Amino acid sequence: MEFMIGLESSNAYHNGDSLIATLTDEKNGTAIFEKFMRCETEAIEHEKQKELIARKILFQLMGADVSAKVTLNPSNSLYDYSVLLNLQQISLPELFSVKIRPVSKVEEYYATLEFGKINNLIDFTSYTENKLTPFFSVGIFFGRERISYSTWQLPIEFPETRLGRIFTSIINSRDRFMEYLLFILNGQMGETIFEGDDAEKNSGSLSLVSDLLFEGKPIFENLLMAASRNQAKLKSIQHIMEKIQLEQQESPDNREPIITQDFLEFWDVFKSFIPQQNKNGK
């Protein structure tokens, strides 16, 4: 908060300068105001000016012509990005720089954009399919200081199997599969689904199916309720199971199947309650 105060006195001792010193001097304990420092105000204005310049740079960048794609590298079966960005018509103020990278990249590497020319970025390599993303983080810097940080969605076509890979990278164990069923049936989400890759180590044994169905977690009761009151939930579960099974067929590994034969036999009872589409697709 700022104040403007007019001071008048017939006593020469109490002139404007002495009163200002009395009201702003912290040493004598009478200071009730902070002295106005023009240099601080100028510094604040300078920061605001840098933010305005950063906004303008970002606006121009978002309007630039860009094409991007991902290609599978046959040497390592991983994906590489290729981004073509036309910045020929955009100039960058002195000391400013712009750096970008995919948001899924763990390391701190950014590609620095060169304004006034066409940029062909091939720096982002070796991504698994489930880590591919159309979102890039954009950092605008003044010297070494980062002024702003934004997210930019690029027009990229991904393999049709990408969403399936992402899904099965999350539902990658029997524990997580059962937790997800519970979530579909009654909205309860267990901790296992959020634990990360270590959850694979606890993928469970065949007894897990009966444990989750009949002990502590009422999946069996919820399946009965869904069969009688909300068959759409059963249809969702069937769709999830088909995606998991298809993904495991296309990407076989040494892990035990997420959906066990015991559960498939158990599921056949509830599968018959799923509404069937007629010839018109209804």
User: 171 and 252: one domain?
Assistant: yes
172 occurs within a structural domain: yes
Token pair recorded at residue 128: 């698994």
Final residue in a domain of this structure, among 128, 153, 178: 153
6 occurs within a structural domain: no
User: 177 and 267: one domain?
Assistant: yes
Q: What is the mean pLDDT of the chain?
A: 78
Cα 216 versus chain centre, distance? 34
Three-state SS for 86? strand
Q: Which of 105, 69, 108, 111 is nearest to 87 (CA)?
A: 111
The Cα 79–Cα 219 span in angstroms is 39
The domain of 24 spans: 12-53
> So what's the pLDDT on residue 112?
94
Final residue in a domain of this structure, among 122, 153, 184: 153
CATH of the domain at 134: 2.60.40
Q: Which of 168, 167, 162 is nearest to 72 (CA)?
A: 162
278 occurs within a structural domain: no
> Between these two residues, 47 and 85, which has the higher pLDDT value?
85
276 occurs within a structural domain: no
118 occurs within a structural domain: yes
User: 148 and 86: one domain?
Assistant: yes
**pLDDT tens-digit profile of 186-225?**
776 555 444 444 444 444 444 444 455 544 556 778 888 8
User: 101 and 179: one domain?
Assistant: no
Q: Is the dihedral of CA 147, 149, 153, 157 positive or negative?
A: positive
3 occurs within a structural domain: no
**pLDDT tens-digit profile of 74-96?**
999 899 999 999 999 999 999 99
Q: How many domains does the chain have?
A: 3
Greatest Cα-to-Cα distance within the chain, rounded to the nearest angstrom: 102
User: 149 and 166: one domain?
Assistant: no
Token pair recorded at residue 6: 């007019």
Q: What is the mean pLDDT of residues 168-175?
A: 75
- Strand bridging mode 65-73 / 78-86: antiparallel
User: 110 and 83: one domain?
Assistant: yes
58 occurs within a structural domain: no
Residue type, 204: G
- Other Cβ atoms within 10 Å of 124 Cβ, number: 20
pLDDT at 117 over 90: yes
73 occurs within a structural domain: yes
* Least confident residue range of 80-84, 148-152, 211-215, 272-276: 211-215
The Cα 103–Cα 132 span in angstroms is 9
User: 142 and 224: one domain?
Assistant: no
Final residue in a domain of this structure, among 96, 130, 153: 153
The Cα 251–Cα 63 span in angstroms is 39
User: 113 and 173: one domain?
Assistant: no
